[in-house]
Every structure is written in structure tokens, then in C-alpha cells.
Chains A and B, each alone.
Chain A
């Protein structure tokens, strides 16, 4: 029996975040020391979310249905959304507000919950974590608020007669199999698939697709919901304790420098 039997179509929601690409950037705390300076640093879709989106699109291609991308962001998110739509998402919902920068995972999950609770869905996919803050909290908090089951760190999934068999990554090559009934939320680990490329032409064409913008003020959160659980005290660069010096020059010059350093430190006499 094919494991695809029993599933007619899937409505999938993917939560995506726009994150700074900091691999090559020098991060410096700003004046308040509560944040870092992100000027001139390019932003892109969070890597984990890109894998979650790819998984959603593959499920859609197999079973039919719809993929909706949702993003709650403190800065312009259009490029990331167009990329998601270009790859195959059907529609996008965005909540963009400067104040979101100060919000923690709980408030983000609350905002997402207030939108998603009114939507029809079978599956919600989130990245296992975000590359900027790395909390890995929004997905599980959102599932708890929606009162649906969740599985974290999913590296493989199969659909069997309307329930979902997920394989979680544990340590030392060990895997755990967890079965959940739909609707459910999964947080997706990188490497679960090979995300497809979104061409510039496809991104241009994606402008035709539906993008719904929600005003943060129009989202009726209960009193206290905008009170976060986490407050950042300070960003700082850790004190340098060990240093790696790269010696330049030809073999003779490098050897001379090494001997000099070893003498200075009393290792060679």
C-alpha cells in the first residue's frame, strides 16, 4: 500500500524569518548595547526556514493543496517573500512593524497565533531555529498556543493515512521516530532536502501572487501579550583570551618569526 493513500491535499503554512547574513560581517553592538549594528548587512531567508519551505512545496507537489508563507518582521520582508513565492508558495501574509525588533519569541508566536487561528491548515512548518538569535522557540510556542501537537528537529517525514511519521535527529547518529495526527506543527532541520533556486525572473513573476499585509495595530492581542518573557541586557564582544597569529612571508621569514616568538616567550633560549 502506498503511504500516499489517504491524503487528498494539504494546506500548509510555513513561518519564515528574514535574518542578517553575518558570516562575513563584523558585528558591533550599537550605542544602547541592546542590539547590534546591522547597516549594510544583507538580509535573506533564515536557512532553516528555507528547508521548511522546500519541504512544504514538495508535499504540495505530491499531494496537492496550498502553501502559505507567513512572516512577522521588523524590516521590509518583500524580497524574502518574493523568493518564497517564486519557489512555489501560493500566497504570503506579512506583518511588518519597526517595533517587532524588540519582541521576543513569545510575542512573535502570539502574533502568528492571532493570524493562524483563523486559518484552515493541515500542517505548519517552521525552521528548527533562526540563525540570528538561535532560540528555537517560536515554533513550539506557536504549537502550544494553537493546541496542536508538534515535533522538533525533523530531518525526514512521511505521510501515512493522514498521520505523519517524522524522523527526529538525536545525537551520535541516533534517530527517533515520532508519529503525529494532523494538524500538527513541525520544526525542520537543515539537510532534510535540497532547496530549489529562485531565479530573478521567477521572483518578478511572483509579484502577481497574493501578498496580504496585516497592520500590527489591527491584530487584537490580549492585555499582557505584548509583554515579552525575555529581555536582552547587553550585547558585547567576548574578551580575547587566546589569539591566533597568521605569519606572512616565505619559509625563511616565517621560520625566523616563529623562533623569535618562541624566544620572546622563553620557550627557546
Chain B
């Protein structure tokens, strides 16, 4: 990719990096050591923090550092591991997002990412598909849409991947059928649902993120929505932590289902003799500290043996699909992080690798196919597992 003019940071660009504690860094390297993309790509959080300090301060290097020395920023999956690992409260992930913002404002971004962002702006989804096709997954399920006249009890927000991807649609269908079976009143926005903006935020397109957030908040207010459940942790995290939503309850499906188990509304009467390992999605675990609910759900299914992967909870390995990585072809990548994760699942003898995120589902299922483990390991969302244990044939 070519650079357009400006070699150094402009005054306005320096403002973007303001308030990020890069000067606290002691160069211990915990961020780099824990980064799932380090060694696979050019991304090295430790040196990036160091370079930021030199770019921003009056300190000089020889030869002088320029913006073109900031590389690997598009390789970040925004898994948040670097920030969790940092003993000095530096937030390398936020620094990376800020550099993405600078590149976005310069117009200098990989073409596939540019296409995804333009699609989100034009079509409200990264694939450039028509919004009329957004609720095709629900076509035969007869799910009601919220009304402007009355209050909506619970809104199921499916999100882009779950709405449009053929495989991920099964998560939405499973949750919808479960809720119907449990006689829980809920609605979907269908063709009025927009992208939540999670990947837009991670890619540093702040202006577009604000537009999307404004549109969604207006839509939620219009339909008097005060409780949302999502199956996608990216949507969940965005609504919960990025939007300024007052008096609105945001739940991930694992929280809702775990609560229903606590209240005795879900009774697992059939056995499911399976060894299941749970993969912690970054946006559920590392970003939101939700580690117990998914495990509790699986432990409640009679017959299930819950296994822990070598890396789990806060030390979990990223699937590699977040932060806009889905739309970015990395050069010089040795292996994919998802393949390391599958090896861990095979090593502990899991028959099912449970996930709670459509990004993880697609990344890990692809890895299973590439590694030809289809006969040994199945990747399923927790919602699909509950659906199977309660409503369908085992």
C-alpha cells in the first residue's frame, strides 16, 4: 500500500493519541508475548508502544521515525489480551485503534477493509447485502416485530454475521425457537436492524461509528426497547460499553439462558453424553469478564463432561476473527490462531468445541475443516447445544 504525502504525525493526529498511557510503558514485553498475532504478522505491541512515544514526544531517533514505521496495526484482532496483561495500565489495543483512526482519516487503508466500511455505510452490513434479506433466517418462524405503540419486553438483536451467514443463521434460529418454546415474549427488528458498529469502532472509523450509534439509539427509543439480548458478544460489548444507553438492560444469550436455568425455567430432562470444551470468546470473556455463565449452562446438561482447554478464561486464545480481521488478508502469516485453538480442543479430547460468538464459530469451524478434524470435533454455539439437548434429535 502506498503512503500519501505526510510522513510525520500532524497536530490533529497527535490529539487522537492523547490520553493513552504509552509513556507508562516499561517495555516488559508482556503484551507482545501474549499477542495472538505476534510472530504470525508484523504486529508487535511492545515496539508499537515504544515507537508511539518517539513519534509523539520530542525524543529523536536516528534515522527519524515516520508514520510508515507503524506497521501491523491491521493485524490486531482487538482481543484485549495486551491490555489485560499490561502491569502498567498501558492500553496497547487502544493505541492500535487510534493509529487505525489516523490511517482512516488519511484514507490509507487496505481496500478490503475500505469495502466493508463502505458497505456498512450504504447497506448497514459489511457484506453489501440488501437489508430486505436481513431476516431471512426467521422467515418461517413467525417472530413479531416491535411496535411503536407498545413497549417491547425483549428485543433479540441478531447482528450482521448471524443474520446473513448461512451457518451462523442457525444460532439465531436456535435461540428464537428456544425462546418460543419457553414462551418468552420477544421481537426482532428484522429489516430495520442495523450493524451495531463493533468492527467499525475497532477499525477506528469513529465518524461512521457515531452515525451508526445515533441511528440505533433512535431506533431503540422509537420502539421503547429497554432490554436487548444478543448472541454476538461483539454487539453485546458495543451496546453495553460503547453506546451511552441509560436504563437499558443488555444481555448476552449465555447470561439470559443461565438466568433461565437458575429460575428453573429450563429443565434438561434428556442426557447428552458428550465431552465439551468451552472456548471463551474475547468479547465475552476478556472484554466483559463473562466466564461462569457459559460453563454453568454446559454443566447443567445431564451427561455433559465439561473440559477446560489449556488456555482458558483470561488466558484464552483468540480465534483471530475480531477487530475487522475477517476482511483483511494478512501477508506472511505462518498459521492461523484458530488452528492452535483446535489443536488444544483435540488435545483435551473434546468432541464438541462450544463457542458463544458467531465470529468464533466461523473461524474455528473453518479451522476444523482445514485440519480435517470434521469426524473428531464439532464446533457449536452454546445456544445450538441447548437447542439440540432440549428440542431436536441428539
User: How many B residues face the partner with a CB closer than 8 A?
Assistant: 28
Nearest B residue to A196 via CB reads B107
A87 touches B107 (CB 8 A): yes
**Which of B117, B122, B205, B211 sits near A21, CB closer than 8 Å?**
B122
Q: Is A253 an interface residue (CB 8 A)?
A: no
A-B contact pairs, 25 of them (CB 8 A): A21-B128, A23-B128, A24-B128, A24-B129, A42-B123, A44-B118, A61-B4, A87-B107, A88-B107, A194-B2, A196-B106, A197-B114, A197-B117, A197-B118, A198-B107, A199-B105, A199-B205, A199-B208, A200-B205, A200-B207, A201-B105, A202-B105, A202-B107, A202-B207, A204-B207
Nearest A residue to B106 via CB reads A196
Interface of B is mostly: helix
Q: Is B227 an interface residue (CB 8 A)?
A: no
A196 touches B108 (CB 8 A): yes
In chain B, positions 181-239 with a C-beta closer than 8 Å to chain A are 205-208, 210-211
Given known A-B contacts A197-B109, A204-B207, A61 and B122 have beta carbons under 8 A apart: no
**Minimum CB–CB distance for A160 against chain B, Å:** 21
Residues of the B chain whose Cβ atoms lie less than 8 Å from the Cβ of A202: 105, 107, 207
Beyond contacts A24-B129, A199-B207: 19 other A-B pairs, Cβ-Cβ < 8 A, are: A24-B128, A24-B130, A24-B133, A42-B122, A44-B122, A87-B107, A194-B2, A194-B111, A195-B114, A196-B108, A197-B109, A197-B118, A199-B205, A199-B208, A200-B207, A200-B208, A201-B206, A201-B207, A204-B207
Interface residues of B, Cβ cutoff 8 Å to A: 1-2, 4-5, 104-109, 111, 113-114, 117-118, 121-123, 128-130, 133, 205-208, 210-211
Residues of the A chain whose Cβ atoms lie less than 8 Å from the Cβ of B1: 194
Complex alpha-carbon distance, A155 and B213, angstroms = 40
**Which of A61, A199, A201 sits near B5, CB closer than 8 Å?**
A61
Residues of the B chain whose Cβ atoms lie less than 8 Å from the Cβ of A204: 207
Which of under 10, 10 to 19, 20 to 34, or 35 or more describes the interface residues of A? 20 to 34
Q: Is A25 an interface residue (CB 8 A)?
A: yes
**Minimum CB–CB distance for A202 against chain B, Å:** 6
The list of the 7 closest CB pairs from A to B, nearest first, reads A200-B207, A196-B107, A201-B207, A197-B114, A42-B122, A200-B208, A197-B107
Nearest B residue to A197 via CB reads B114
Complex alpha-carbon distance, A203 and B107, angstroms = 11
**Minimum CB–CB distance for A63 against chain B, Å:** 13
Residues of the B chain whose Cβ atoms lie less than 8 Å from the Cβ of A88: 107
* Contact mask for chain A residues 196-236; partner B; CB cutoff 8 A; 1 contact, 0 none: 11111111100000000000000000000000000000000
Complex alpha-carbon distance, A202 and B107, angstroms = 9
Complex alpha-carbon distance, A198 and B129, angstroms = 21
Residues of the A chain whose Cβ atoms lie less than 8 Å from the Cβ of B108: 196-197
Nearest B residue to A201 via CB reads B207
Complex alpha-carbon distance, A25 and B122, angstroms = 13
**Which of A23, A196, A200 sits near B121, CB closer than 8 Å?**
A200
| A21, A58, A195, A197, most chain B CB atoms within 10 A | A197
Residues of the A chain whose Cβ atoms lie less than 8 Å from the Cβ of B128: 21, 23-24
**Minimum CB–CB distance for A196 against chain B, Å:** 3
**Minimum CB–CB distance for B265 against chain A, Å:** 33
A199 touches B2 (CB 8 A): no
